[in-house]
Structure 1
């Protein structure tokens, strides 16, 4: 196995998964899902490894990784917070909620908190306009969120991991 700048145990786990696939053609998205499950994100070296193992170009792997919003090339926190910035949510103050979350966690949008607990991202629309503004944490939807609700929402996830 070639030397990659990633956890070798996880890389072997990914390699075993890829080797177990009988039909490698068309398997790229499934392999990327599995790799992200194993590593938590898709670093460049993992993408290159996948390209080599599936006999596809690195450009194809990178293209798929960047096209689908599910995939990330940045480490993610234990808890992923998404703030909807669709029109209804924005009009009802989602931008202020996002700013409060960033302030509370001392984090920039798209980044992971220094303790590795949270990642903050935005979405364009979650289709829950009647609940605007909406915040989603690890898939749990919080509707009609106010700035003063932010600390309580974050505390719920901080306490769950203590």
Structure 2
């Protein structure tokens, strides 16, 4: 565990149980996932039962207990996006990255996941890479999108 990194994150917030979600979000942003030893450490530092910390970490989609890539890719597979070719888009990302839905590249640069709806149906099909939204994305542009993040 990178205790110095975690300590710096904890120091940015009030050292009390009500800070747990923000601390976990900051850890997730730094490490790209929440390792078990970090969950235990944060729980102890903020005096939050580990069961509560684990419940939060598994309840919210923003958190991952598995290592994620530096650039998480979410492909919307909701109805509007599906009708506009989200399945072909997902297949192209899988081919280009050499991974399947729910996996992370070996170099930890990219994670790929399908999501039910990103709330941008008018821009279907929609993909997010980190916080960047790409709408009306044809599968032929996947390589170009990925190059922006390599």
Q: State the TM-score, normalizing by the size of structure 2.
A: 0.88
CA distance in 2: counterparts of 1:22 and 1:130, whole angstroms = 41
User: 1:55-70 to 2 correspondence within 5 Å?
Assistant: 55-70=47-62
CA distance in 2: counterparts of 1:141 and 1:80, whole angstroms = 12
Counterpart contact for 2:15–2:46, Cα < 8 Å: no
- SS of corresponding position for 1:26: helix
In structure 2, do the counterparts of structure 1 residues 47 and 130 end up closer, same or farther at CA, with 3 Å as the change threshold? same
Q: Deviations over 1:55-96 (max 9, x none)?
A: 222111111011111111122222221111111001111011
Q: Kindly report structure 1 stretches of 4+ aligned residues shifted beyond 3 Å.
A: 16-23
Bigger radius of gyration: 1
CA distance in 2: counterparts of 1:118 and 1:154, whole angstroms = 9
CA distance in 2: counterparts of 1:18 and 1:136, whole angstroms = 28
Unaligned runs of 5+ in 2: none
Aligned residue in 2 for 1:80: 72
Aligned residue in 1 for 2:100: 108
Q: State the TM-score, normalizing by the size of structure 1.
A: 0.82
